[in-house]
Amino acid sequence: MAQWTSAVGAAQLARLLNSQQERPAGPGSRRPPAYRALADGIRLLVLEGRVPVAARLPAERELALSLSVSRTTVAAAYEALRGEGFLESRRGAGSWTAVPAGNPVPARGLEPLPPEALGSVIDLGCASLPAPEPWLTRAVQGALEELPPYAHTHGDYPAGLPALRAMIAERYTARGIPTMPEQIMVTTGAMGAIDAICHLFAGRGERIAVESPSYANILQLMREAGARLVPVAMAEGLAGWDMDRWRQVLREAAPRLAYVVADFHNPTGALADEDQRRRLVDAARAAGTVLVADETMSELWLEEEVRAAGMPRRVCAFDPAGSTVITVGSASKAFWAGMRIGWVRAAPDIVRSLVAARAYADLGTPVLEQLAVNWLFSTGGWEQAVALRRAQARENRDALVTALRRELPDWEFSVPQGGLTLWVRAGGLSGSRLAEMGERTGVRVPSGPRFGVDGAFEGYVRLPFTVGGAVAEEAAVRLAAAARLVETGGTGAAAESPRTFVA
């Protein structure tokens, strides 16, 4: 059986290689041999995630024709990549990309820092902001007022409180997507929702197509469920999805599930347009793939032109029969991470299956938190709280962008119009090494490979808009110090002890 899960055509690989910007050669330096330059280019595409791991490469003769080089050059490049662990081959099956053994995906970077470390370390690991007060307090007070009738019951609502299910359904209907309460299940955060969906649809060994890069915690959840992840590279910049690649993967790999973030994608911040959404739903339907659309960032637009133009319709709007798309929403990103309320919108039979399976998981979601979210939805408090959250994120984003451009002008990124994260190419430095050196300079940052499959995106880091003002400026200074340590192999002058800095 072939070990590859997708394929890269010769013309496509040639375009990707030609898009790489060559760094100017230094004084007295010599250009590498052609085969070495080709091998380095393919290796960089793998490490950046632009060519997925386990993607079949074109035959030597086909690639040589597309690049206008000799077959000997391509053969030598492939042999160099095999020797470095970036390519595997088998007679009759071809050659496919790999990542060398001993390069595991880093395990640090997204877990919240303990409270005692917050005074000396700037945490850019978690993409979460403080609660938008006074709305959290008001919501909890409103929930306490509504609690007494529920306190006289058993308190177990596997599908969620009927009032909250009806309210969520009403909000979808108001957006032009007719929805019944029977199509809603309330979960313990979006993670709880996706965990339940994976266990229902994708047993151990099943393939799940994921964007590359994608949200690190979801990727890890799927790995631990035993899924085989099939990465699909994002389009360049903030252009959303590469639909040619999606159609190819859905057709050839036939994944049971596909997981996507259409609205201000985590980590890139990309916003998929309506045409991409329609085409992806059509392609998933044709392939028999269940499409899981994560909407947790959908309300976090940060620019007025986005509001004026109108957000693209939800992914489920292009699946009126409800046979292909399962939608996941949450209060955790738009409101507060401590509010662990999520939900699933799906066909009633799918919701019934998810609810039945829940008896062997967490039984239900806390009643008080459900009442708090229902209070926010029913009083207009949600809209005011999210408006506050947008202003906070916008201010933080602008401060971080300004500081990065001043302290690290070689780092490359596109400024998203929404969401909570910057996806940054770190000037040719290793993201894993930056994360390691950041521990020494007092800034905590997750490395790019956390967001890829099998070690891709080594040259990236993700930076969330969680700090602003002087703290954002200090974070950029500490990142610059970490970059200098990486450049000197960690043997340069030791960074000063991080100053205590209260966010």
Dihedral sign from CA coordinates of 460, 227, 269, 335: negative
Q: What string of DSSP letters covers 215-280?
A: -HHHHHHHHHTT-EEEEEEBPSTT--B-HHHHHHHHHHH--SEEEE--SS-TTT-----HHHHHHH
Please tell me what DSSP assigns to residue 112.
P
CA-wise closest residue to 476 among 409, 417, 391: 409
CA-wise closest residue to 53 among 23, 87, 16: 87
CA-wise closest residue to 245 among 283, 205, 218, 198: 283
The CATH homologous superfamily of the domain defined by 115-127+384-488: Aspartate Aminotransferase, domain 1 (3.90.1150.10)
Strand 207-212 and strand 184-187: pairing? unpaired
Question: For residues 253 and 259, what is the distance between their CA atoms, to the nearest angstrom?
Answer: 14
And the tokens for 270? 């990309």
Q: Is the peptide bond before 267 cis (omega within 30 degrees of 0)?
A: yes
Could you give the angle at which helices 34-48 and 71-84 cross, rounded to 10 degrees?
A: 50
Could you give the angle at which helices 367-379 and 381-407 cross, rounded to 10 degrees?
A: 90
Q: How many CB atoms lie within 10 A of CB 28?
A: 5
Q: Please name the fold of domain 134-379.
A: Aspartate Aminotransferase; domain 2 (3.40.640)
By CB atoms closer than 10 A (0-12, 13-18, 19+), residue 176 is: exposed
Q: Could you give the residue range(s) of every CATH 3.40.640.10 domain in the chain?
A: 134-379
And the tokens for 86? 């970036």
Give pLDDT tens digits along the chain (503 positions): 456 777 889 998 998 888 654 544 444 446 789 999 999 889 878 876 778 888 899 999 999 999 999 999 999 999 999 999 999 998 888 899 988 875 544 444 456 666 655 567 899 988 889 999 999 999 999 999 999 999 999 888 999 999 999 999 999 999 999 999 999 999 999 999 999 999 999 888 999 999 999 999 999 899 888 999 999 999 988 999 999 999 999 999 999 999 999 999 999 999 999 999 999 999 999 999 999 999 999 999 999 888 888 899 999 999 998 899 999 999 999 999 999 999 999 999 999 999 998 877 777 899 999 999 999 999 999 999 999 999 999 999 999 999 999 999 999 999 999 999 999 999 989 888 898 899 899 999 998 988 988 778 889 999 999 999 999 999 999 999 999 999 987 655 544 444 444 33
Judge whether 371 and 146 are in contact, CB under 8 Å. Answer: yes
Q: Could you give the residue range(s) of every CATH 1.10.10.10 domain in the chain?
A: 10-15+29-97
Q: Could you give the residue range(s) of every CATH 3.90.1150.10 domain in the chain?
A: 115-127+384-488
Please tell me what DSSP assigns to residue 320.
T
| Residue 235 vs residues 49, 197, 244, 333, 461: alpha-carbon distances, Å | 11, 27, 10, 24, 18
Judge whether 49 and 242 are in contact, CB under 8 Å. Answer: no
Question: For residues 437 and 426, what is the distance between their CA atoms, to the nearest angstrom?
Answer: 13
Determine the CATH number of domain 10-15+29-97.
Answer: 1.10.10.10
Question: For residues 391 and 393, what is the distance between their CA atoms, to the nearest angstrom?
Answer: 6
